[in-house]
Homo-oligomer: A and B are copies of this chain.
Amino acid sequence: MSFQFEILHLDALSSARCARFSTPHGTVETPAFMPVGTQATVKGISPQQVEQVGAKMILANTYHLALRPGSEIISSLGGLHRFMGWNGPILTDSGGFQIFSLESERTITDRSVVFRSHIDGSVFDLSPERAITIQEELGADVMMCLDHCPAADLPAVEQADAVRRTVIWAQRCARAKRRTDQALFTIVQGGLHKQLRSDCAEALVDMDFSGYALGGLSVGETPEQMYEIVEFTTPLLPQNKPRYLMGVGRPQDIVEAVDRGMDLFDCVMPTRNGRNAMAFTSSGNLRLRNRCHRDDDRPLDSQCNCMTCRTFSRAYLRHLFQAGEMLGPILLSIHNLAFYQQLMRNIRSAIGQGLWREWCRQWKKDYLGLE
Q: Which residues of A are in contact with B by a Cβ distance under 8 Å?
A: 39-41, 43-48, 64, 68-69, 73, 76-78, 83-85, 294-295, 297, 307, 311-313, 315-316, 318-320, 322-323, 325-327, 329-331
Residues of B close to A68: CB separation below 8 A: 319, 322-323
Known contacts A326-B43, A327-B44; is-contact A73 B320 (Cβ 8 Å)? no
Central interface residue in A69, A85, A319, A322, by most chain B CB within 10 Å = A319
Closest to A43 in B: B326
Known contacts A41-B320, A46-B307, A326-B44; is-contact A77 B315 (Cβ 8 Å)? yes
> Assuming A43-B327, A69-B294, A83-B316, what are 17 further A-B pairs, CB within 8 angstroms?
A39-B325, A40-B316, A41-B325, A44-B330, A46-B327, A46-B330, A68-B319, A69-B322, A76-B295, A77-B295, A77-B297, A77-B316, A83-B313, A85-B311, A85-B312, A326-B326, A330-B330
Nearest Cβ distance between residue A334 and chain B, in whole angstroms? 9
Residues of B close to A297: CB separation below 8 A: 77-78
In the A-B complex, the 6 residue pairs with the smallest Cβ-Cβ separation, listed nearest first, are A44-B326, A85-B311, A41-B327, A69-B319, A39-B323, A41-B325
Is A315 touching B69 in the complex (CB atoms < 8 A)? yes
Central interface residue in A85, A294, A327, by most chain B CB within 10 Å = A327
28 A-B pairs within 8 Å (CB atoms) are namely A39-B320, A39-B323, A39-B325, A40-B316, A40-B319, A43-B325, A43-B327, A44-B327, A45-B327, A46-B307, A46-B327, A47-B311, A48-B307, A68-B319, A69-B315, A69-B319, A69-B322, A73-B294, A73-B295, A73-B315, A76-B295, A77-B297, A77-B315, A83-B319, A85-B311, A326-B329, A326-B330, A330-B330
A40–B126 CA distance with the chains assembled, in angstroms: 47
A8–B113 CA distance with the chains assembled, in angstroms: 69
Is B326 touching A46 in the complex (CB atoms < 8 A)? no
Copies in the complex: 2
Nearest Cβ distance between residue A138 and chain B, in whole angstroms? 13
Closest to A76 in B: B295
Residues of B close to A85: CB separation below 8 A: 311-312, 316
Known contacts A69-B294, A69-B319, A326-B326; is-contact A77 B44 (Cβ 8 Å)? no
A56–B250 CA distance with the chains assembled, in angstroms: 41
Nearest Cβ distance between residue A40 and chain B, in whole angstroms? 7
Closest to A40 in B: B319
Nearest Cβ distance between residue A329 and chain B, in whole angstroms? 7
